[in-house]
Amino acid sequence: MAKLYAIGVGPGDPELLTRKAERLLKAVDLIMAPFSRKGDEGIALEIVREFLDPKRQQIVTRFFPMTSDPDILADAWRRAAEILADHVENGKNAAFITIGDPLLYSTFIYIKKIFGESYPELEIEIVPGISSINTASSVTGIPLAEAGQRIAVIPATSGIEAVEAAINGFETVVLLKIKSLYPEILELLRRIRPERDVVLVEKAGCKGQKIINDREFMAIHHPDYLSLMIVRSL
């Protein structure tokens, strides 16, 4: 029976793709790749392009707008789910690819919910991928946690109060989606945790990767959308 595969393709380097992900990408009939900027086919597709065969496989790109409007988002998720379900119902294996891991701040989470509600008979298999969090830890050499230490992962879009609470409550904090709140985060760190070890990683594991641990340089830097910070007790 055909199924839908949700495949995490890692942070950006094709060599960080798992062997299982590569095998399935070469075998499925359809690959759906999300993108969020008009005129850009998306990072996920670029990562796996070398493993695909456009002559044999159908490659579908779907636009998922960067908006907080729930109606616009719900429509985009539903339309994507319909395309995938149609192929699986017709006996074709399909894959939805996503950077990082499919179940960590991924668009696929919402598609999975729609499948559970509208297509419960269709099988889904999740293929995990290496997240930007693990990659950032690796490229900087900063351990995320040891012994009894605790770690918090929080999108900066949760608000500066939530960020402050996490920094005060955990030995290690990974801040995602920092661009929208970047000046406020820097000011917060200067005010409450000047002794913390802080590193900014931009495009972790991708071409154009940057690692910044100098606070003065951080202050004049304009981070890319694909940026995160690791804040850790010294």
| Domain map (residue ranges) of the chain | 4-127, 132-232
Integer Cα distance of 27 and 22 in angstroms: 9
Q: Is the pTM of this model over 0.85?
A: yes
Mean pLDDT of 43-55: 93
Integer Cα distance of 230 and 134 in angstroms: 11
Kindly report the three-state secondary structure assignment for every residue of the chain.
CCCEEEEECECCCHHHCCHHHHHHHHHCCEEEEEECCCCCCCHHHHHHHHHCCCCCCEEEEEECCCCCCHHHHHHHHHHHHHHHHHHHHCCCCEEEEECECCCCCCCHHHHHHHHHHHCCCCCEEEECCCCHHHHHHHHHCCCCCCCCCCEEEEEHHHCHHHHHHHHHHCCEEEEECCHHHHHHHHHHHHHHCCCCEEEEEECCCCCCCEEECCHHHHHHCCCCCCEEEEEECC
Looking at the DSSP bridge assignments, the partners of residue 173 are 152, 231
Residues 98-113 pLDDT 10s: 999 999 999 999 999 9
Q: What are the tokens at 71?
A: 């109606």
Residues 16-40 pLDDT 10s: 999 999 999 999 999 999 987 654 4
Long-range pairs of 168-171 with CB within 8 A, sequence gap ≥ 24: 168/192, 171/145, 171/232, 171/233
Residue 233 confidence (pLDDT) above 90: no
Per-residue pLDDT band for 192 (boundaries 50, 70, 90) equals: confident
4-127: CATH number:
3.40.1010.10
Residue whose structure tokens are 């495009």: 203
Residues 122-173 pLDDT 10s: 999 999 999 999 999 999 999 999 999 999 999 999 999 999 999 999 999 9
Q: What are the tokens at 84?
A: 């995938």
Taking CA atoms, 81 is separated from 151, 153, 156, 214, in Å, by 34, 28, 28, 44
pLDDT of residue 195: 65
Per-residue pLDDT band for 43 (boundaries 50, 70, 90) equals: confident
Mean pLDDT of 61-80: 86
Fold of 132-232: 3.30.950
Integer Cα distance of 90 and 2 in angstroms: 8
pLDDT of residue 39: 46
